[in-house]
Structure 1
Amino acid sequence: MTWLLFAEAAVPEGGLFDLDATLPLMALQVVLLTFLLNSLFFRPVGKVVEEREGYISTSRADAKQKLAQVERLEADLTEQLREARQAAQSAIVEAEQEVDKLYREALAAAEAEANRTREQARREIESQREAAQTQLMSKVDQLSAQIIQRLLAVS
C-alpha cells in the first residue's frame, strides 16, 4: 500500500511527459549507463565469447585433422593387415608345397632304398642258388663218378 502512495506522489501535474531538464539528464544517464555496461560487462563478455569461439573453431579444426589422420592410419593398418594375411596365406601354401615335396622325396628315397635292398637280396639269393647249384653239380658229378666206378668195379 505504501508503494501506491509513493507512485501517486511521484506523478507531476503536467501530464505523462514533462519536457524539462529531466529528459537530457535521462538521456545522459542512458548514454553513460550504456558506456559503463559496454566497458565493464559487454566487452569482457564479448572477449570471452570470442576466445571461446576461437578455441572451439581451433578445437574443431584439430579434431578434423586428427580424425583425418586416424582414418589414414586405419586405412594403412587395414592395408597392412590385408598384406599380412596374404603373406601368411602364401607362407602356408609354400609350406604345404614344401611338405608335399619333402614327402615325395622321402617316399622316392624309401622306394629307391627298398628297390636297392630287394635287388641286393635277389642278387644274394641268385649267387647262393648258383653256389648251391654248383656245389650240387659237383656232388652230382662225384656221385655219378662213384656210381660209374662201382658199376665198373662190379662188372
Structure 2
Amino acid sequence: MTSWLLLTAADAASSAAASAPEGGLFDLDATLPLMAVQVVILTFILNALFFRPVGRAVEEREGFITTSRAEAKKKLAQVKRLEADLTEQLKEARQQAQKLILEAEQDSDKLYRDALASAQAEAIATRETARREIESEKDRALGALQVEAERLGSLIVDRLLAAS
C-alpha cells in the first residue's frame, strides 16, 4: 500500500510540476495532503507494529521493577527485624553467660574455701594429735627417766653407804 501511495504521489508531483507555474518557494498542490496522509498512515502502522509492543514491554518491566522493589523493601524490613531480634538474643545470651561464669567463679571460690578450711582443720587436728602423742611420749620418757633416776640415785646411795 505504501508503494502505491508513493507512486500516486510521484505521478501527482510530476503532473503538478508540469502544470504549475515555476518560480515559487513552495508549490502547494495535491502532494501536500497526500504526504500528510502518508505520515498519518505510517504513524498508525509504526504505532501498531513497534510502539505498542515496546510500550507494553516497558510497562511490564516497570511493573516487575515496582513489585521487585516492594518485595525487596519487605525483605529488608524483615531482615532488619530479624537482625534486631538476633542482636537482642545475643545480648541476652552474653548476659546469661556472664551470669553463669560469675556463678561458676563463686562456686569454685566456695569450694576452694571449703577445701582450704577442711585442709586447715585436718592439719590442726593432725598437729593436735601429734602434739598429744609427743606429750604422752614425753611424759612416758620423763616417767621412765624418773624411774631410772631414782634407781640410779638409790644405787649410788647404796654404794656410798656400802663403801662407808
TM, length-normalised to structure 2: 0.70
SS at match of 1:76: helix
Corresponding residue for residue 40 of structure 1:
49
* Higher RCO (CA 8 Å, separation ≥ 6 residues): 2
* Aligned residues with identical type, % of pairs: 63
Corresponding residue for residue 67 of structure 2:
58
1:73-112 matched pairs, under 5 angstroms: 73-112=82-121
The CA deviation string for residues 55-82 of structure 1, in whole angstroms up to 9 with x for no partner, is 1111101211221121022112211221
Tell me the distance in 2 between the aligned counterparts of 1:84 and 1:100.
24
Consecutive unaligned residues of structure 1, counting only runs of 5 or more, are 1-8
Q: Letter of the aligned partner of 1:32 in structure 2?
A: I
TM, length-normalised to structure 1: 0.74
The CA deviation string for residues 97-131 of structure 1, in whole angstroms up to 9 with x for no partner, is 12211221121122112101110111111110121
CA RMSD of aligned residues (A): 3.2
The CA deviation string for residues 79-104 of structure 1, in whole angstroms up to 9 with x for no partner, is 12212221221122122212211221
Q: Letter of the aligned partner of 2:96 in structure 1?
A: A
Corresponding residue for residue 126 of structure 1:
135
- Number of residue equivalences: 146
